[in-house]
Structure 1
Amino acid sequence: MTATVAAPERRRVYRLIPAEHGHRLTRQEDAVPRPAGREVLVRIRAASLNYRDLMVRRGQLGEVRDGLIPLSDGAGEVVAVGSEVTQWRAGDRVAPLFYPLWTAGKYREAYGPSALGGGNSDGVLADVIAVPEASLVRVPDTLDFAEAATLPCAALTAWQALVVRGGVAAGDTVLVQGTGGVALFGLQIATALGARVIVLSSSDDKRERASRLGAFATVNYRTTPDWDIEVRKLTDGLGVSHLLELGGPGTFDRSLRAIRAGGHIAQIGVFTGFGPQSNLMRLQLINASIDGINVGSGEQFAAMNSFIAGRGLKPVIDRSFAFDEAEAAYAHLASGQHFGKVVIRF
């Protein structure tokens, strides 16, 4: 028998419907799901968008099920629990995992299809969703729901890249590309650990804002196209210890030239597309390394949340939209004008 508390009967939900080019976003209403034995019903209070969400909608990441609920990142409160749930109770503030099956340990390819908001796995752009008990983490008490909704993908990706895989430490130098969610979380996390961060941006206004967040230096990659040379100058000719590679094929060659001997590149983004791959011989010549970064586990998420709360870090939200303005939120993210995260408040 399912144990429930005050849960609504109907919910607002957005779904992706096939269109001529990609998918259109359609708002609907339907019945609220009821939690099975080990499921938890979560009322989503806010969601945030990632570049991946644009790619899913455009059909760039493979097939998308007709009627898929999009978006992977959200936060809210427990409103009902299944009869076998022991970990959560009504009122708990939680966020679903990007990969519901990746609760701990190393990543496995089998986790991939479970990623929320893509392929065949419904996401969080709905008032209420049902989530497996083990696929939730408690969000920091220091953050409101909108701030907590930015954490599941962007923040955890930066944490995985710099802390789990990179081992960033005081005195290291870090280069981040752009001023989107992953980049700014990387800036905040690395700075909190005592590293010096260099930020690339084509906007002088965004560079100034990055400096106020603690960037050691910034470089305008549009007016300084040879930014790898400038980065080496800023690091006494050595190059950076860590690099969050967010651009993809269009930036990777310069990233290889900007990394120092023994340095670490975290391969994360594909903003410049899926073009030809670079010659990786330089990695061997300078004993550097590259890690493919794909979000993180629930265990890592919990550790990051403790760090965020302990250090008093606040996610950077560029703009918030109402639930009825979801289409405008997508458009704002696609414009590339944002500094930090784009959020939908329910």
Structure 2
Amino acid sequence: MQANVWQFQQAGKPLVHDEQVISAPAAGRIVVRNYAIGINPVDWKFIDDNPRDWQEGHVPGVDGAGVVIAVGDGVDNGLLGKRVAYHHSLSENGSFADHTQVYASRVMDVPESMDFALAAALPCPMLTAWQAFSKVPVRQGADVLVSGMGAVNKLLSQLLSQAGFNVHVISSSFTQAQADVMGVKAIHSDAPTGQSFYALFDANGPDNAKNLVPLLEANGHVVSILGRIEEPVDEPFTRTISYHEIALGALHDFGDLAQWQRLMNDGETLLRQITEQQIVVEIPQVFAFQNLNDALHSSKEAKQKAVVTVS
């Protein structure tokens, strides 16, 4: 099978449009005919710096949505024709193509009422937000602090609010109108004073998270969504803070089948909540397949969610 793909050349260079042979799906895998491709910061960061040592010809991309057109040995034929969305490994040829081979156990059913463009925009930020939310035991009425209001934390804030937490955010751009819709209790332009928090969720990096740890109450939690705090801030046997790190992509290398099944089931529940408008998401900017490099540039410079549609 021939696929239209966007290929990596070398670090910092634009991707190149070409054709590539897609083999029949291996055991436990499927081929998805992509109708939309999600663009995430991890995409342009890895294209810029190539930390995985991609070879020339590698196809980047982690998020996509489309229809299952082929299944490998051991995969239920009932998947054929299914509308699915997926998050894929950075180590394998990815979603920047009209066809992608993925594990059958690592896809989510897409509700009929959700278009592919929105479905493709969601896997990475939505599943990352869910992993972050799941790190901390629910305590209704507890105050939590969210730092960095990108796509992940806008979803996370809503999950926290729905669970009964009092959500505070640190942001210079987040508006009161957004707060009202997403259930955010308070917006702070800087680190708040005179208050302690049960949990902190940070997406600005380990240095920022480390600076906010003193705001936590004893036995509190810090969840680092971008990087991790390498050394505890406090001395042993003092406030006993719990440190958590989030890395959705790591599950491809270290997760087992049961973990993926749970995550995909949880993801499908979130997709249904989005279609029922229980969770609010921002509409992504849409680019045509031939303009994929422009979509990467827009994601990097405009900090706006982008998707690429495939005709």
Q: TM-score, normalised by structure 2?
A: 0.84
Q: Does 1:122 align with 2:89?
A: no
Q: Give the Å deviation of 1:249.
A: 3.5
Q: Distance in 2 between matches of 1:245 and 1:268?
A: 6
Give, as a single letter, the amino acid of the residue that structure 2 aligns with 1:35: P
Paired position in structure 1 for 2:286: 320
Q: Distance in 1 between matches of 2:140 and 2:232?
A: 31
Q: Distance in 1 between matches of 2:83 and 2:55?
A: 29
Runs of 4+ displaced beyond 4 Å: 276-279
Q: Secondary structure at the match of 1:54?
A: helix
Q: Distance in 2 between matches of 1:174 and 1:342?
A: 29
Identity of aligned residues (%): 27
Q: Distance in 1 between matches of 2:239 and 2:284?
A: 38
Paired position in structure 1 for 2:32: 42
Paired position in structure 2 for 1:159: 130
Q: 1:202 to 1:282 in 2, by over 3 A?
A: farther
Q: Distance in 2 between matches of 1:314 and 1:88?
A: 31
Q: Secondary structure at the match of 1:154?
A: helix
Match of 2:165 among 181, 195, 198: 195
Match of 1:133 among 100, 104, 111: 104
Paired position in structure 2 for 1:305: 268
Q: Give the Å deviation of 1:307.
A: 4.3
Q: Does 1:256 align with 2:256?
A: no
Q: Give the Å deviation of 1:44.
A: 1.2
Paired position in structure 2 for 1:90: 80
Given that 1:97 and 1:152 are in contact with CA atoms closer than 8 Å, whether structure 2 keeps it comes out as yes
Q: Distance in 2 between matches of 1:198 and 1:279?
A: 23
Q: 1:252 to 1:82 in 2, by over 3 A?
A: closer
Give, as a single letter, the amino acid of the residue that structure 2 aligns with 1:46: A
Q: Does 1:26 align with 2:21?
A: no
Given that 1:56 and 1:64 are in contact with CA atoms closer than 8 Å, whether structure 2 keeps it comes out as no
Q: Distance in 1 between matches of 2:74 and 2:197?
A: 50
Give, as a single letter, the amino acid of the residue that structure 2 aligns with 1:294: A
Q: Which runs of 5+ in 2 are unaligned?
A: 252-258
Q: Distance in 2 between matches of 1:283 and 1:193?
A: 31
Q: Does 1:51 align with 2:41?
A: yes
Given that 1:244 and 1:267 are in contact with CA atoms closer than 8 Å, whether structure 2 keeps it comes out as yes
Q: 1:216 to 1:87 in 2, by over 3 A?
A: farther
Q: Distance in 2 between matches of 1:342 and 1:207?
A: 24
Q: Distance in 2 between matches of 1:321 and 1:283?
A: 51
Q: TM-score, normalised by structure 1?
A: 0.76
Q: Distance in 1 between matches of 2:236 and 2:197?
A: 13
Q: Distance in 2 between matches of 1:181 and 1:309?
A: 18
Paired position in structure 1 for 2:182: 213
Given that 1:150 and 1:315 are in contact with CA atoms closer than 8 Å, whether structure 2 keeps it comes out as no
Deviations 1:10-63 (A, max 9, x none): 4321111115xx343111123443224443111112222222212211226341
Give, as a single letter, the amino acid of the residue that structure 2 aligns with 1:202: S
Q: Secondary structure at the match of 2:97?
A: coil
Q: Distance in 1 between matches of 2:3 and 2:93?
A: 15
Q: Secondary structure at the match of 1:199?
A: strand
Give, as a single letter, the amino acid of the residue that structure 1 aligns with 2:70: A
Q: Give the Å deviation of 1:213.
A: 2.5
Given that 1:16 and 1:68 are in contact with CA atoms closer than 8 Å, whether structure 2 keeps it comes out as yes
